[in-house]
Structure 1
């Protein structure tokens, strides 16, 4: 092999290692999150698989929060994947990557709770009924802060700075709605493990709200579309 060939091979291997370093921890975190249900529930004293009447009921705040926040998180993940394909701005792409991985991790934990309690991932209850909240769902926006289908369609048509700004505006509203719901569960929680997860969401999303607000200011944009 010539010197040039050896250099090319080393660069290829280095690039492969870099990609693995970027994606492997995130993939591992998602897998670990899915498996946290058993030890987490055991440590909190809550029986697994709905084997006892002390497990949360399907209409409890525990189950309602898990279902609703999983739905709320999924849209944030979807929006973040969209914008990663619409801009090359490193700051926005890094934020989107962080949201994808953090919220996929948390969503896996929420689904794990429901599985261990022997509860379905969906119910006939209206979103946020567990917290006594009423919200007029419309065009795919099921809970406060969620974007509409029209919003998502528009995001898919934008690129560059326009995509960055619209994504940041949508995500700011999304985080505010999600943080309010997480705080409502913290205030009503009966499961210590799920309460700690919800508090983590409150803290993390407040930090990202501050970051997103500053990113909008840097781009000369306002918080709302």
Structure 2
């Protein structure tokens, strides 16, 4: 059946007209089908893009997830030790160092925990510490990650005062940073996520600088 527009075109045209008749309008069913097809195409394209993006997130058992979880715990101990230093030490340089460690490592913990949430992962996993790193299990000492202070070390640090506290804190933090840098190097050897690489490299750079500062303070206090 012709539409009103079609009838008007037929009535106003004659066989002798040389002009080309204007094109007919989309019929309702044809237009509806085109709209549905366009919506389906956009939906499929969006869904494919979202699926590809979600697949690219590091998953459970990945190097990136393992590093984020373990380094968060590693950092948490450094923050605890440095908070003790801020409360107990009277050395200006040591207090400056401790303040920098608290600020930097607490911020980095926040970033790593945000990654885990973004990746749809829990803040803690079921694997043993260092399982993400090649030969990582061999680096554990009494279940502790590289450089971490033992429970006995932490008790001694809490009990120490004066110059004895300063020396113990600096020695423990020196070992802590060396262990953390080793973990970063293990991650960089296998990681492919640019954001994780950026943060890990920033960690290593900052901790190497702090190691130099630690040595300067140790020399200054004659330790």
Q: TM-score, normalised by structure 2?
A: 0.73
Q: Is the Cα–Cα contact under 8 Å of residues 140 and 146 in structure 2 kept in the other structure?
A: no
Q: Is the 8 A contact 2:130 2:140 kept in 1?
A: no
Tell me, yes or no, if the aligned pair for 1:63 and 1:114 is still in contact at 8 Å.
yes
Structure 1 residue 76: Cα displacement: 0.1
1:142 is matched with which residue?
Answer: 144
Unpaired runs of 5+ residues, structure 1, are 1-45
Deviating beyond 6 angstroms after TM superposition, the runs of 4 or more aligned structure 1 residues are none
Listed one character per residue, the Cα deviations across residues 173-209 of structure 1 (whole Å, up to 9, x for unaligned) are 0000001111221221111011000000111111111
Name 1:167's counterpart in structure 2. Answer: 169
Match of 1:110 among 104, 109, 112: 112
Of 215, 218, 222, 2:217 maps to 215
Could you say what the CA RMSD is over the residues aligned between the two structures, in angstroms? Answer: 1.9
Q: Name the structure 2 match of 1:58.
A: 60
Residues 47 and 117 in structure 1, CA contact (< 8 A), matched pair in contact too: no
Instruction: Tell me the residue number matched to 2:178.
Output: 176
How far off is 1:216 after superposition?
A: 1.1
Q: Distance in 2 between matches of 1:118 and 1:108?
A: 16
Larger radius of gyration: 2
CA distance in 2, matches of 1:65, 1:124: 13
Q: Deviations over 1:119-174 (max 9, x none)?
A: 01111111111112113443xx6201000111111111111211111000000000
Tell me the residue number matched to 1:151.
Answer: 153
Instruction: Give the stretch that moved more between structures: 108-117 or 212-221.
Output: 212-221
92 and 57 in structure 1: CA distance in 2 versus 1, 3 angstrom threshold? same
Aligned length: 173
Paired with 1:165 and 1:206, the residues of 2 have a C-alpha distance of: 19
Write the deviation string for residues 7-39 of structure 1: whole angstroms up to 9, x where unpaired. Answer: xxxxxxxxxxxxxxxxxxxxxxxxxxxxxxxxx
C-alpha distance in 2 between matches for 1:144 and 1:194? 20
Higher mean displacement: 122-131 or 170-179: 122-131
